[in-house]
Amino acid sequence: MSNEERTFIAIKPDGVQRGLIGDIIKRFEQKGFKLVAMKFTQASESLLKEHYIDLKDRPFYPELVNYMASGPVVAMVWEGLNAVKTGRVMLGETNPADSKPGTIRGDYCIQVGRNIIHGSDSVKSANTEINLWFKPEELCSYESCAHTWLY
């Protein structure tokens, strides 16, 4: 069984400002995912424009880029079985009003424009986003002692 799927997760500026970094990381750790990269960074406008390139024709695109550049973010790579799909379920719906209690957005968010977290929506986009935010040498390769208890 291969459990090497990776996903890109970013805590947005509002999540950082609200002090939710530890709570969010804890959820992914408790689920059993392995953290393989993390950085606390102020993303450049050019990085954010490239990250959200698929939304460039949407009316909210400039506001989204400004919002993401308004403060530091925590960029992370998590690894595990079905990491992309499970990560998206853990995040909840893009619109927090549609998110169930128990999801990150369901528990911590009210408005779609301040939904505190980003998660890759496919393995392909995860690979693209990981390569955009991290250099290959920034990704750690190790076996967690919990691996045999999870798989």
Residues of each annotated binding site: 12, 60, 88, 94, 105, 115
Query: How confident is the model at residue 4, as a pLDDT?
Result: 82
Q: What is the pTM of this model?
A: 0.94
Query: How confident is the model at residue 151, as a pLDDT?
Result: 87
Catalytically annotated residues: 118
Query: How confident is the model at residue 2, as a pLDDT?
Result: 57
Query: How confident is the model at residue 75, as a pLDDT?
Result: 98
Statement: residue 87 has pLDDT above 60: yes
Statement: residue 1 has pLDDT above 80: no
Query: How confident is the model at residue 3, as a pLDDT?
Result: 61
Residues of each annotated binding site for ATP: 12, 60, 88, 94, 105, 115
Residues 6+ away with beta carbon under 8 Å from 34: 78, 79, 80, 142, 144, 147
Number of CB atoms found within 10 A of residue 122's CB:
12
Percent of the chain's residues with pLDDT above 70: 98
